[in-house]
Each structure stands twice: as C-alpha cells, then as structure tokens.
Chains A and B, each alone.
Chain A
Amino acid sequence: METLDLRALPPPEPLERVLCEVETRPAGAIFCVVLRHEPHPLFALLRQAGCTWRGEAIEHGYKLTITIGR
C-alpha cells in the first residue's frame, strides 16, 4: 500500500495534499499518509468526501489509512 509522508510540509499543505489524493483516486482505493499530529480538522473534510479512515499514533507522527468511498 502506498504511504505518503507529509510531515515535512507546513499547514495547510498536508491537508490539501490528502484532499487532492482523495479526489484523484478511484472509489475503493486505499492509501496511507503520515502526518505530524492527529489531524482533527481533516476528519470532517474526509467525512464530507465520503471516505472512511483508520488512524494510529506512531513515533513523531500519526498514520492515517484512508479508503475512498464515493
């Protein structure tokens, strides 16, 4: 599964990048992103886009597995 490490980007670029990936990938696709922190504001945007996700805290970051579900 593809993993994007977005920890080197300042806000709001990680969120923009995730939303761009959500728009360009087909329904049912799954991908991972690694962020600096649990992205609470992103969850509302993912919910609106019809995605589901699973998150876990990792060392120096937060790993999010997103499933596109349009």
Chain B
Amino acid sequence: MTTILSFENSPRLSVPLPFHLTAAAFGVAAGVWLATSPQAWDGNRWSPSILSLTHLVTLGVLGHGMVGSLLQLLPVIAGATVAGGRTTAWATLAGMSTGTVLLVAGLARGTAALLVAGGAVLIVALLAIASLTAAAAWRGTEADATRRALRLAPLSLGAVALLGTLLVAIMGLGAPLPLLNVLHLHVAWGAVGWVCMLIIGVGFTVVPMFQVTPPYPEQVARSWAPVIAATLVALAAALAFSSAWAAWLDAVLALIVLGGAGSTLFVQHKSRRPHDVTRRFWQGSMMSWTLAAALWLARPWLPESVEPWTHWWLGVLALVGGGVGALDGMLFKIVPFLCWLHLKGRLPRRSYVPTMQEFIPEKWQRAHWLAFELSLVGLLAMPVVPAIGPHAGAVFAAQQAALLVLLVNALRVYARALAEGKAEAAAARALDAAPPSRSRSTT
C-alpha cells in the first residue's frame, strides 16, 4: 500500500479560495446595495451611490477574484510560486477586504477620513501583492503569451493602485492634481491593463485547454499583453502633455479589446464542447466586451442626451458582463480541477477521487449562468426602466450567494473524499501490518 503522499509543491487550496469566497461575498453586498437603493441610478455617474457600487464590483468582486486567480494560476500555468505562500495571501486578503470596506464607506458617506484610511490600506496591500506576483512571474526565462500577460498584468495592478491613491489624495486631501486625467488613466489601466489583459491573457491557455478549442491566432496571442502595455504608457504620456493623441489612443485600446474578445469568440466557435457552461459564460463575457468597445468607439456619434446612459452601459458591460462573467465561469473549471489535483496528490494512488462534475454539479452551474445573464440584462435596462434596478440587484445578489454556496459545497466534497481516502488507507495499512491468522484446530 502506498503511503499518503506529500504534495507541498502545488498551490494550496487555502491560498486562492478565500479570495474567491470573499469576492462572492462582496458580490452579494453589491447586489443587496442595489436591491435596497431604489434611487441608485440618478443619471449621475459621480453620485456617492454609483461610486460606491462601482468599487464594490471593481475592488470587492473583481479585485479579490483576480488576485485569487493570479495566485492559483501562477503555479499551475507558469510553475511559479509567490514568496510567502499562504501568509502573503492571507495578509493581502485582510488588507484588500478591509481597505475595500473603508473606501466604499468613505465614498458612500463622503467622509474624507474613511476614504484616506481605505486608500492607505489598499495601496499597501495592492502594491505588495502586485510586486510579489510580478516577481514570481518574471522569474525564469521562457515566456509564452499567457506568461507575458502574467508578467505585465501585476504591473498594471500596481499602476491602478497608484492612480487610485492619487484620486484619494485629490478627493480626500484636496491635492492639486488634474482629477479627470488621473481618473482617465485609473479607468484605462484598471479595465484594459489589469482586467482585460489578465483574463484574455490567461484565456490563451485555459480556453483551448478547458473548452477544447483550437489555439488562438498566433499574432493576437503574441502581441496581446505588450501592445496593451505600450498603448497605456503612450496614453499616460499623451494625457501628461495634453496631447490630442489621447483620444486616438483610447480608440486603439477599444480596438485591441475588440481583437482579443473577437479572437476568443472565434476559437470558441470551434469548441468541441459546445454545451459547456464555462464556454457560455465566456461567450457572454466576450460579447459584453465587444459591445463595450463598440459603444466606446461610437460615442462621438451618439446624441448627447444618452451620454449618462452610455457611461452606465460601459461600466456594466466591461465590469459585470465581461469581468465578473469570465471570472465566475472559469471558477467552475479551476476550483474542481484544484480540488481533484489536491486529492490526487494527497491520497494513495488507487483511492477514489470525485469527478469534476461531483465538485460543482453542471445543473447548478447552468442555473447560475442563467441567473447571471438575467441580472446582466436587468442592469443594462436600468437607465431606461429605473424601477428594474432593485430587482436586478436582488438577482445579482442571489446568484453571487449561490456561487458562494457552490464553492463551499466543492470544498465539502473535497474534505469528505480526503477523509474517506485517508481512512481507507489507514485501514489497509492496519490490515497489512496484522500477523497472518492461524487456522483453528478442529480435533
């Protein structure tokens, strides 16, 4: 009988999963916020309510979800481990979640002290994790398309955090800096340099692998992360020198997003698993980014009266439809895979290991996807039918709560299989160690 095997080199479940559970909890909070705020949408994207909601999604859901994904994918895809392991992860989680709560409270109540405290905690946590993940990703010499994204995306996260700190300094301390330019860069680095770059960059590996598609077009994959980084640096220079090129560079960023999302849709079209739920999540996500990029490019020709609506739609499409959708969809693959991998590593060879479907049943994945798309449609309809807002918020909260339950259930299946496998191994060892039984005399 094989002994219980050590599996110290793989990413521990306790590193990424707390981030995903926290992200879902912030998702519930965002949904409840919207559900209980009938006046959430007042046509003003600068209102405390909209700013708070935006940061619950960007920092709370996307921030935690993407940092957790980065920590779990670096060892699996790039063979790189982040210094400090679980201690780094948990300290970052504590800083990010505390900072997010303080910042959101500061934005909602207009309290400068809360805003500054939140910003201070966040900059420490985000810069620390950005530098540690970047250092892990830059170790080693070989770099494919995904590793290039894994190397550059943490640098974008650092830039987003620094720009966010400048915004806190402007809003909370009255620092004499150009608010609109800093905000412009904060949004561009965050949405394209961090969220899009990392998700599609990781997609170059995980979409063909998990959704069984052909590889991405070589030119798109090879140039994706470096071209985004170069465009963002050029945009920063253009804004610093008040150049008219800034508007063109915005358009270039939108075209890059169109290229990445379009390429993903193209390879997904040839998937050998057309009914896969993650594929549906990612199709919705890429369509959202396609629509967001097209809407951004079309803005100069849209009537001025729909300008406030456009900002809401851009935010919902880019952050919820694109970002949250892709993240939730990939969780349904990555979490069962990590559970399976850890059981394989920790149990004797012939022990029973549950299938991927047993960790998160497909019917629940499908139900979650339907609820997610329903909430997305509701959020997009809000500017036209404001009364739908609380209902869309309630559905969003419910599906994020369901995600939380599904992730906890996957952990429960993992723990049960681990306990049963260890018990069987112990029983088999005891049997092997027992002296051979003697035949009883019958005379």
Which residues does A use to contact B, with CB under 8 Å? Answer: 8-12, 15, 19, 23, 36-38, 40-41, 43-45, 48-49, 57, 60
Contacts and interface: CB of A to CB of B under 8 A. Distances in A.
A25 to B, nearest CB: 14
B5 interface: yes
A36 B76 CA distance: 13
Interface of B: 5-7, 9-10, 75-79, 142, 205, 208-212, 215, 272-273, 333, 337, 340-341, 344-345, 349, 356
A1 B117 CA distance: 63
Nearest to A22: B349
A41 B80 CA distance: 11
Contacts of B356: 12
A5 to B, nearest CB: 13
Nearest to B78: A40
A44 B79 contact: no
Contacts of A37: 77, 205, 209
A38 to B, nearest CB: 7
B344 A15 contact: yes
Given A36-B209, A45-B345, 13 more contacts: A10-B273, A11-B209, A12-B337, A12-B340, A15-B344, A23-B349, A37-B205, A41-B341, A43-B79, A45-B344, A48-B5, A48-B6, A57-B142
Contacts of B75: 40
Contacts of A60: 215
B208 A36 contact: yes
A22 to B, nearest CB: 9
Contacts of B9: 43-44
Nearest to A61: B215
B207 to A, nearest CB: 11
A11 B210 contact: yes
A10 B349 contact: no
A40 B142 CA distance: 14
Contacts of B142: 57
A6 to B, nearest CB: 11
Contacts of B7: 44, 48
A53 to B, nearest CB: 14
Contacts of A15: 341, 344
B341 A40 contact: no
A41 B340 CA distance: 11
B77 A8 contact: no
Nearest to A38: B79
Contacts of B210: 10-11
B344 A19 contact: yes
A36 B349 CA distance: 24
Contacts of A45: 344-345
A-B pairs, top 3 by smallest CB distance, nearest first, are: A40-B79, A48-B5, A44-B9
B209 A41 contact: no
Given A8-B212, A10-B209, A11-B209, A40 B77 contact: yes
Contacts of B272: 8
B345 A49 contact: no
B76 A41 contact: yes
A23 B344 CA distance: 14
B379 to A, nearest CB: 31
Nearest to A12: B340
Contacts of A44: 7, 9-10, 345
